[in-house]
């Protein structure tokens, strides 16, 4: 039980697939193939702040300056349209994306679902990438709530080519759902933060428009693509009718997303938002955090991208670990662990013993996401821990 006693960063209950104490105990019984009991106490600088939470860029907490902006926010009842801070956020976001107007919503999920809802009626379908967030992580809300169907098409780490979509529009007859919409996700979460290249976005959306299909972008991490490519948010967005962007991911605000688009569609979205219970009252308090994030936290996303490359290098140089994809576009690193070294869950549990938190995304896959609450120094420390544990596990397995 010595290893259990040294488990300093045991997590509070959370919703993602972090190993529990029980699963750790099972691992120690060696059913997962990773030996835990031999690891030596790792040296670290006493001032190193732990844990280093790389599970997601949603885990950030508002800084004192952001909190001060939130505390000072001018608020009103946004259902009556009285909240000036929400209005400012909507105007500023729409302007940045080059859209007529925007709607503040509680989550990226709601932004996407409202985007689908304003383009489609029951019995319609949309084309999307197989691993996109809308399909994988939003409970099929489009089907549950709106009677829509999805036609998934597998991309290369989330990236689609226009040729893959060309024969996917269904025949216009009574047997078929009506193909109405193309959804893209940029950057792509399950594709390890991959950027759907600008030219292919233009091609896909141009083809969709010529064929009478609407275009929606899940731009939860659009600003990561902006910073990585130097292409403006307005240019990226110009190819889409509606774009959903998140303030609570890399930008570091505590709550909220915006759905941006033409006034008539956003008017409809506002109605549907009310039906979903997403109309909020003095939401200026949280909108002020989002405004602060837009004003202060976009350019610094480049630091997160550089930090992700440091983690990727640690993976690359560790035998038994394999980056997938090899090249890191933005702030998400996904890698696989050779089954001979154990499961992803066991490896994540070992990292966690050392105060480095990552997530499993499949039996042999692990994801790490950089963000503004992890410094360069912490990422370098995490990279060192990852290298050492990989070497340890490798030597035990070998």
Binding of residue 224 to ligand PLP (CB under 6 A): no
Contact with ligand PLP (CB under 6 A) among 86, 135, 246, 374: 246
Binding of residue 109 to ligand PLP (CB under 6 A): yes
Reading the block at residue 164, the tokens are 């893959």
* Cβ–Cβ under 8 Å, residues 121 and 188: no
Nearest CB to ligand PLP, comparing residues 189 and 343: 189
Question: How many chain residues interact with ligand PLP (CB under 6 A)?
Answer: 13
Q: How far is the CB of 375 from ligand PLP (least distance, A)?
A: 22
Contact with ligand PLP (CB under 6 A) among 83, 185, 354, 388: 185
Nearest CB to ligand PLP, comparing residues 185 and 304: 185
Q: How far is the CB of 64 from ligand PLP (least distance, A)?
A: 24
* Cβ–Cβ under 8 Å, residues 251 and 297: yes
In the block, tokens 């991959």 appear at 194
Binding string to ligand PLP for residues 338 to 357, with x set by CB under 6 A, is what? --------------------
In the block, tokens 């269904």 appear at 170
Binding of residue 27 to ligand PLP (CB under 6 A): no
Relative to beta strand 214-219, strand 242-246 is parallel
Binding of residue 107 to ligand PLP (CB under 6 A): yes
Nearest CA among 72, 35, 97, 396 for reference residue 257:
97
The whole-angstrom separation of Cα 317 and Cα 329 is: 18
Binding string to ligand PLP for residues 63 to 92, with x set by CB under 6 A, is what? ------------------------------
The whole-angstrom separation of Cα 218 and Cα 134 is: 8
Q: Map the footprint of ligand PLP across residues 127-146, applying CB under 6 A.
A: 133
H/E run at residue 118: helix 108-119
Give bridge partners of residue 260 from the DSSP assignment: 102, 243
Nearest CB to ligand PLP, comparing residues 83 and 218: 218
The whole-angstrom separation of Cα 160 and Cα 204 is: 8
Supply the angle between the helices 344-353 and 21-28 in degrees, to the nearest 10: 110
Q: How far is the CB of 104 from ligand PLP (least distance, A)?
A: 12
* Contact footprint for ligand PLP (CB under 6 A): 58, 107-109, 112, 133, 185, 189, 218, 220, 246, 248, 257
């Amino acid at each position: 039980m010595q290893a259990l006693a040294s488990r300093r960063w045991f997590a509070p209950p959370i919703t993602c697939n972090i190993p529990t104490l029980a699963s750790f105990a099972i691992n120690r019984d060696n059913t997962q193939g990773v030996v835990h009991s031999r690891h030596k106490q790792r040296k670290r600088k006493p001032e190193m702040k732990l844990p280093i939470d790389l599970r997601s860029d949603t885990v950030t907490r508002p800084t004192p300056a952001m909190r001060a902006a939130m505390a000072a926010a001018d608020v009103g009842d946004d259902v009556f349209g009285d909240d000036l801070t929400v209005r400012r956020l909507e105007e500023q976001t729409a302007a940045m994306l080059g859209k007529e107007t925007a709607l503040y919503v509680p989550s990226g999920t709601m932004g996407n679902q409202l985007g689908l809802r304003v383009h489609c009626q029951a019995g319609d379908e949309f084309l999307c990438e197989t691993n996109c967030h809308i399909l994988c992580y939003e409970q099929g809300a489009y089907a549950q709530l709106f009677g829509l169907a999805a036609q998934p098409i597998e991309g290369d780490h989330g990236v689609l080519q226009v040729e893959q979509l060309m024969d996917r529009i269904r025949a216009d007859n009574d047997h078929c759902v009506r193909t109405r919409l193309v959804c893209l996700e940029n950057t792509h979460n399950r594709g390890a933060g991959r950027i759907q290249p600008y030219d292919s976005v233009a091609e896909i959306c141009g083809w969709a428009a010529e064929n009478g299909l609407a275009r929606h972008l899940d731009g939860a991490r659009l600003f990561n693509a902006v910073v990585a490519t130097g292409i403006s948010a307005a240019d990226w967005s110009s190819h889409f009718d509606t774009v959903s962007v998140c303030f609570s991911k890399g930008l570091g605000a505590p709550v909220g997303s915006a759905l941006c688009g033409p006034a008539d569609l956003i008017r409809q979205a506002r109605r549907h938002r009310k039906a979903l219970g997403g109309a909020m009252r003095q939401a200026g308090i949280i909108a002020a955090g989002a405004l602060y994030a837009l004003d202060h936290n976009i350019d610094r996303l480049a630091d997160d991208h550089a930090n992700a490359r440091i983690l990727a290098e640690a993976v690359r140089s560790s035998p038994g670990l394999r980056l997938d994809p090899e090249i890191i576009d933005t702030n998400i690193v996904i890698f696989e662990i050779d089954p001979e070294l154990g499961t992803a869950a066991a490896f994540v549990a070992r990292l966690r013993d050392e105060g480095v938190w990552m997530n499993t995304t499949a039996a042999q896959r692990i994801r790490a996401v950089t963000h503004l609450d992890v410094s360069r120094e912490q990422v370098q420390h995490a990279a060192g821990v990852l290298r050492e544990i990989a070497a340890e596990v490798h030597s035990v397995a070998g």
